[in-house]
């Protein structure tokens, strides 16, 4: 445990004889020596590029209709805004709160999630509040994944999973969702599945965890009971952890039900379930998320927390707690945001599907989440003018579409690892958690585009 | 699960003194002078700035730019550019983080590698050591040592100094970074220009990065001046300067901090940031941007919060110094920060056997005793020392004086009762 690290340290301290003037001895100017040492730590090697930085810049042009980043331009529910606006005046909320989560918030989260789990949830030991679900993913991976571990990632994947796993010194092992051929029926996210044998072949004694994302970004798949059982069985067989990213848990559409793998037999003790205030209440800028799980796992995420950011912002946590209580009390009410938002979004989903079909695309109807992916190669767009022929097709397409059609989206190969980008390079992801006027503008563009085609 | 669960990077860093002492302080009827947060509100203009952020554009409820809300990075660049005498680009030289704590973590993860040495000046804000370890680095400690004071005179934080030869001996070819904290927590020392020049010259000689934690930069007293080491010749290119909105605007719960530095270093912090939390909350950043606008307008004038705050806090400091002496605690006068440390050697002599674990340092046992019996909570200073040195520096206790008059009155009542209980 300690020994390897300390041994290395003590070796170094005995080697400290004479380095003070080494640069003078070697005749090196100090500026030359500076560039030798101001190097980054190895853990971030190769992790510097980021699809969002590139594409949000591109979409920042106000004349572009932005269906790229998962950023709602609809207003959060009024009571959420009201709670927050009252909070600023409360003095104590301007100072530090409890590091692992503001007391009223962890209580509200425990109360909410107890409705789904068989066991009671201890707000102090089994919940951790983090900087967005992103922060929970980071804490889970840093806390539980070691150098040399393997982590199974299902492709396409929310793009941070791979760099976070690599930053922990572990090896990502990829498995793609594959689509069955479809005939006479709309292509649906449920048509994309994992091959159970292929999945089983990815597990071995070095597999520390599998990252599950349901509802799935970008495809919108909502894993069924049977599919989750296959994963659960393998986790139990190989004594593997499950990191379950469920940020879109409330966004499931008619005919579908979100299931928590942590509620399956044998799974509570090996699962970290991650949620997001941003996605729950359409307040992505609040950057509050949470991890729920057994204390023997959560305590390690808590250790990471106390050595990284220590505590999250107080006022937002209090506002979130109050907003949660409002909806916890009316879970069966259609007015409850957990029910009203998916209803609202289903209409937008269907509208977007319709628009993309009009354009001649075959969009994959998502069962959940707020994204739709579609194969854009059918448009046979002339991308010859686009520079950088090494980029995957969808990267070039999105840049071309942003520039020429003033419509932006995200290339799905950004959600693939380097080796398999080609598998998804014809697909582009559109976000539909947008206000009507944004969708109207998108419709205008698509009508004009369709008109130009015929 | 049969497998070992936690990653090795967590070894030795799971314990946290704040949890323990915070819990005790909440269980007893105490005046809490332990953890460093103000118990008075932020200034009106800051509260209004937050309210504005919450009530104006509803799109502030959504993601902003990953590396910082543009109006905030812009004003931080212009505000600190002037102070550091440096052209600061909001996109290349500024990163907004979740508190200064987040900036520190990001810096360590970006730049400290397995086997790298990091020089830490003791006593140190307790997270520096675990952050170094979590990055696989080796902490190398160098101690601020007080010179003996004249009888009857109070010790001063400026009296606590680094021995130049000792400091120089800590630099090796494996030294990657030195972490400096000025004004210093817990001693309250404000490093002088000469002291900073010594550190600077060694950093340059050995090609070492300086991580400068300057969260208390406005909290300086008695006419002392805070100097940013990044403003010294040859230092901008190798320094990360870390600041805190929480400490600047008495709003620790907002958790907005920043790192400033050359692009050659900042680009690595950005890589870590985009792979850890990616964005910071938007509205807090908007409130801080607005608050800095206010300060920029009033800079250097009597109406500036950065002028008014240290003036008020200095009075609280002086009040506490007077009061603590009445029971035989011997405060060390700080030149800056939220804190002072008080020498408890006399208590160690008079009551050496306070309840506690076998090898628990005296100051920890003293603080627990003080919480249980005297209704005052503070922090034992040995938590700010490396493990091997804790027994040596077990005779100081840290008090936070950034507290309302009413809190200080309550403190006085507890101290009066304590004094009455002392043997004549």
Identify the pLDDT of residue A55. 85
Q: Which of B39, B98, B176 to mutate to test the interface with A (most CBs of A within 10 A)?
A: B98
> Are A44 and B272 in contact (CB < 8 Å)?
yes
Residue in B20, B31, B96 with CA at minimum distance from that of residue B408? B31
Q: Is the pLDDT of residue A452 over 80?
A: no
How many whole angstroms separate alpha carbon A149 and alpha carbon B144?
42
Q: Which of A44, A47, A100, A238 to mutate to test the interface with B (most CBs of B within 10 A)?
A: A44
Angle between helices A51-59 and A393-405 in degrees, nearest 10: 20
Band of residue A181 on the pLDDT scale cut at 50, 70, 90: low
Q: Is the pLDDT of residue A10 over 60?
A: no
CA dihedral B385, B388, B389, B392 (to 10 degrees): 140
Neighbouring C-alpha atoms within 13 Å toward the C-beta of B138: 23
The answer on B70 and B21 residing in a single domain is no
The answer on B69 and B14 residing in a single domain is no
**For residues A7-30, average pLDDT:** 39
Identify the pLDDT of residue A454. 53
Residue B3 lies in a domain: no
For the segment B325-357, what is each residue's pLDDT rounded down to a tens digit?
999 999 999 999 999 999 999 999 999 999 988
- Distances, alpha carbon A53 to alpha carbons A46, A58, B75, in Å: 15, 9, 22
For the segment B182-226, what is each residue's pLDDT rounded down to a tens digit?
999 999 999 999 999 999 999 999 999 999 999 999 999 999 999
Q: Collect all residues of chain A within an 8 Å Cβ-Cβ radius of residue B101.
A: 308-310
Residue B196 lies in a domain: yes
Residue B183 lies in a domain: yes
**Token pair listed for A134:** 């992103």
Q: Chain A closest CA to B283's CA: distance in Å?
A: 7
Q: Is B319 on the interface with A (CB under 8 A)?
A: no
Q: Is the pLDDT of residue B125 over 90?
A: yes
Look-up: residue for tokens 């440390």?
A: B341
Percent of chain B with pLDDT over 70: 99
- Distances, alpha carbon A136 to alpha carbons A149, A217, A255, B327, B379, in Å: 19, 17, 30, 47, 30
Sequence-ordered strand ranges (E) for B145-253:
145-146, 160-161, 175-181, 209-213, 239-244
The answer on B73 and B188 residing in a single domain is yes
**Token pair listed for A235:** 């986790």
Q: Domains (ranges, CATH) in chain A? A: 46-74+336-452 (3.90.1150.10), 78-329 (3.40.640.10)
Band of residue B164 on the pLDDT scale cut at 50, 70, 90: very high
**What CATH number does the domain containing B21 carry?**
3.90.1150.10
The answer on B77 and B50 residing in a single domain is yes
How many whole angstroms separate alpha carbon B96 and alpha carbon B117?
26
**What CATH number does the domain containing B81 carry?**
3.40.640.10
Band of residue B391 on the pLDDT scale cut at 50, 70, 90: confident
Alpha helix positions (H), B228-274: 245-248, 263-274
Last residue of a domain, one of B298, B326, B353: B298
**Token pair listed for B11:** 């070894």
The answer on B146 and B96 residing in a single domain is yes
Residue B255 lies in a domain: yes
Sign of the C-alpha dihedral computed for residues B82, B83, B86 and B92 taken in this order: negative
For the segment B100-117, what is each residue's pLDDT rounded down to a tens digit?
999 999 999 999 999 999
Q: Higher confidence at residue B254 or residue A384?
A: B254
Residue B2 lies in a domain: no
Q: Which of A56, A138, A167 is opposite residue B277, by nearest beta carbon?
A: A138
Band of residue A85 on the pLDDT scale cut at 50, 70, 90: confident
Neighbouring C-alpha atoms within 13 Å toward the C-beta of A341: 27
The answer on B53 and B150 residing in a single domain is yes
For the segment A247-256, what is each residue's pLDDT rounded down to a tens digit?
999 999 999 9
Residue B1 lies in a domain: no
**For residues A124-152, average pLDDT:** 97
Q: Higher confidence at residue A145 or residue A58?
A: A145
The answer on B313 and B271 residing in a single domain is no
For the segment A222-269, what is each residue's pLDDT rounded down to a tens digit?
999 999 999 999 999 999 999 999 999 999 999 999 999 999 999 999
Q: Is the pLDDT of residue A107 over 60?
A: yes
Q: Which of B64, B171, B173 is opposite residue A285, by nearest beta carbon?
A: B64
Q: Sheet holding A207-213: strands in order across?
A: A127-130, A289-292, A271-276, A241-245, A207-213, A150-155, A171-176
The mean pLDDT of chain B is 95
CA dihedral B195, B201, B202, B208 (to 10 degrees): 110
Identify the pLDDT of residue A16. 34
The answer on B332 and B278 residing in a single domain is no
How many whole angstroms separate alpha carbon A5 and alpha carbon B52?
49
Residue B80 lies in a domain: yes
Phi, psi of A176, deg, nearest 5: -85, 150
How many whole angstroms separate alpha carbon B251 and alpha carbon B126?
21
Band of residue A38 on the pLDDT scale cut at 50, 70, 90: low
**Token pair listed for B349:** 């002599």
Pair type for strands B396-400 and B339-343: antiparallel
Alpha helix positions (H), A254-412: 277-280, 295-306, 314-328, 337-358, 393-405
Last residue of a domain, one of B260, B277, B298: B298
The answer on B118 and B23 residing in a single domain is no
Q: Which of B54, B272, B277 is opposite residue A131, by nearest beta carbon?
A: B277
Q: Chain B closest CA to A404's CA: distance in Å?
A: 25
The answer on B365 and B231 residing in a single domain is no
The answer on B125 and B183 residing in a single domain is yes
Last residue of a domain, one of B298, B314, B340: B298
**Closest residue on chain B to A18 (Cα):** B172
Identify the pLDDT of residue A373. 96
Identify the pLDDT of residue A6. 41
The mean pLDDT of chain A is 89
B 382-401 → A contacts, CB under 8 A: none
Q: Is the pLDDT of residue A18 over 70?
A: no
Q: Collect all residues of chain B within an 8 Å Cβ-Cβ radius of residue A272.
A: none
Q: Is the pLDDT of residue A180 over 90?
A: no
> Are B133 and A313 in contact (CB < 8 Å)?
no
**Token pair listed for A414:** 């950004």
Residue in B213, B119, B201, B195 with CA at minimum distance from that of residue B158? B195
Q: Which of B11, B265, B276 is opposite residue A2, by nearest beta carbon?
A: B11
Q: Is the pLDDT of residue A443 over 60?
A: yes
Residue B84 lies in a domain: yes
The 3-class secondary structure across A407-450, one letter per residue, is: EECEEHHHHCCHHHHHHHCCEEEEECCCCHHHHHHHHHHHHHHH
Total number of domains in chain B? 2
Look-up: residue for tokens 């023997």?
A: A296
> Are B13 and A20 in contact (CB < 8 Å)?
no
Q: Which of A158, A309, A414 to mutate to test the interface with B (most CBs of B within 10 A)?
A: A309
Identify the pLDDT of residue A17. 32
Global confidence as pTM: 0.93
Q: Collect all residues of chain B within an 8 Å Cβ-Cβ radius of residue A50.
A: 66, 274
The answer on B216 and B89 residing in a single domain is yes
Q: Collect all residues of chain B within an 8 Å Cβ-Cβ radius of residue A160.
A: 275, 278
Domain that holds residue B146: 44-298
Q: Is B242 on the interface with A (CB under 8 A)?
A: no
Radius of gyration of chain A (CA): 24
Q: Which of B9, B253, B274 is opposite residue A94, by nearest beta carbon?
A: B253
Band of residue B423 on the pLDDT scale cut at 50, 70, 90: low
Band of residue A37 on the pLDDT scale cut at 50, 70, 90: low
Percent of chain A with pLDDT over 70: 91
């Amino acid at each position: 445990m300690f020994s390897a690290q300390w041994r290395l340290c003590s070796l170094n301290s005995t080697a400290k004889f004479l380095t003070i003037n080494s640069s003078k001895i070697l005749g090196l100017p100090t500026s030359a020596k500076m560039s030798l040492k101001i190097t980054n730590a190895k853990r971030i090697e190769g992790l510097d590029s980021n699809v969002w930085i590139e594409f949000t810049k591109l979409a920042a042009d106000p004349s572009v209709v932005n269906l790229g980043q998962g950023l709602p331009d609809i207003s959060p529910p009024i009571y959420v805004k009201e709670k927050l606006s009252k909070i600023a005046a409360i003095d104590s909320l301007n100072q530090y709160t409890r590091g692992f989560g503001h007391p009223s918030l962890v209580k509200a989260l425990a109360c909410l999630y107890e409705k789904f789990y068989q066991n009671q949830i201890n707000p102090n030991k089994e919940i951790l509040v983090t900087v967005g679900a992103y922060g929970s993913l980071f804490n889970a991976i840093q806390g539980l994944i070691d150098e040399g571990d393997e982590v199974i990632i299902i492709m396409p994947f929310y793009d941070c999973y791979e760099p976070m796993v690599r930053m922990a010194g572990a090896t990502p092992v990829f498995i793609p969702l594959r689509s069955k051929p479809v005939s006479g029926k709309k292509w649906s996210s449920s048509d994309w599945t994992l091959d159970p044998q292929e999945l089983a072949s990815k597990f071995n004694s070095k597999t520390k965890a599998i990252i599950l994302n349901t509802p799935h970004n970008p495809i919108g798949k909502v894993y069924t009971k049977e599919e989750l059982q296959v994963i659960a069985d393998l986790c139990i067989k190989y004594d593997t952890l499950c990191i379950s990213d469920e940020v879109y848990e409330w966004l499931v559409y008619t005919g579908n039900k979100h299931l928590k793998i942590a509620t399956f037999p044998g799974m509570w003790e090996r699962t970290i379930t991650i949620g997001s205030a941003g996605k729950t209440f359409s307040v992505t800028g609040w950057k509050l998320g949470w991890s729920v799980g057994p204390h023997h796992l959560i305590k390690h995420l808590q250790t990471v927390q106390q050595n990284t950011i220590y505590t999250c912002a107080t006022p937002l946590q209090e506002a979130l707690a109050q907003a949660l209580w409002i909806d916890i009390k009316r879970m069966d009410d259609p007015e409850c945001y957990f029910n009203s938002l998916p209803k609202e979004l289903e209409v937008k989903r269907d509208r977007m599907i319709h628009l993309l079909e009009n354009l001649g695309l075959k969009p994959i109807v998502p069962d959940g989440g707020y994204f739709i992916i579609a194969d854009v190669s059918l448009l046979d767009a002339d991308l010859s003018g686009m520079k950088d022929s090494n980029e995957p097709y969808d990267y070039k397409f999105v840049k071309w579409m942003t520039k020429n059609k003033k419509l932006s989206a995200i290339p799905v190969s950004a959600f693939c690892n380097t080796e398999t980008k080609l598998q998804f390079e014809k697909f582009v992801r559109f976000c539909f958690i947008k206000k009507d006027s944004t969708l109207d503008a998108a419709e205008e563009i698509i009508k004009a585009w369709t008109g130009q085609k015929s | 699960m049969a497998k070992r669960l936690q990653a090795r990077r967590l070894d030795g860093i799971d314990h946290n003194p704040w949890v323990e002492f915070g819990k005790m302080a909440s269980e007893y009827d105490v005046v809490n002078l332990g953890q460093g947060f103000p118990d008075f509100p932020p200034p009106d203009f800051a509260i209004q700035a937050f309210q504005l952020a919450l009530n104006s554009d509803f799109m502030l409820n959504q993601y902003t730019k990953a590396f910082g809300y543009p109006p905030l990075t812009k004003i931080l660049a212009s505000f600190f550019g002037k102070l550091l005498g440096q052209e600061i680009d909001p996109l290349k030289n500024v990163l907004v983080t979740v508190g200064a704590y987040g900036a520190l973590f990001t810096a360590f993860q970006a730049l400290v590698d397995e086997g790298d040495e990091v020089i830490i000046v003791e006593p140190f804000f307790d997270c520096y050591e675990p952050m170094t370890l979590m990055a696989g680095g080796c902490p190398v400690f160098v101690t601020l040592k007080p010179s003996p004071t004249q009888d009857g005179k109070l010790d001063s934080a400026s009296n606590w100094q680094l021995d130049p030869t000792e400091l120089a001996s800590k630099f090796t070819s494996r030294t990657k970074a030195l972490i400096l904290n000025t004004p210093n927590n817990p001693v309250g020392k404000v490093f002088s220009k000469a002291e900073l020049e010594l550190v600077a010259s060694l950093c340059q000689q050995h090609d070492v990065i300086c991580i400068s934690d300057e969260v208390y930069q406005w909290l300086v007293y008695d006419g002392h001046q805070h100097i940013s080491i990044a403003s010294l010749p040859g230092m901008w290119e190798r320094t990360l300067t870390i600041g805190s909105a929480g400490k600047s605007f008495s709003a620790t719960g907002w958790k907005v901090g920043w790192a400033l530095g050359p692009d050659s270093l900042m680009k690595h912090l950005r890589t870590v940031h985009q792979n850890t939390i990616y964005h910071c909350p938007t509205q807090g950043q908007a409130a801080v941007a607005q608050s800095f606008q206010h300060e920029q307008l009033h800079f250097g004038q009597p109406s500036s919060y950065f002028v008014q705050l240290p003036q008020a806090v200095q009075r609280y400091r002086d009040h506490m110094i007077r009061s603590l002496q009445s029971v035989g605690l011997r405060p060390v006068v700080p030149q800056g920060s939220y804190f002072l440390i008080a020498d408890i050697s006399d208590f160690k002599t008079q009551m050496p056997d306070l309840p506690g674990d076998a090898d628990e340092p005296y100051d920890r046992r003293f603080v627990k005793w003080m919480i249980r019996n005297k209704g005052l909570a503070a922090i034992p200073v040995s938590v700010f020392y490396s493990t091997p040195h804790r027994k040596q520096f077990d005779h100081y206790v840290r008090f936070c004086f950034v507290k309302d008059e009413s809190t200080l009155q309550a403190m006085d009542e507890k101290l009066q009762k304590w004094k009455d209980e002392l043997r004549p």
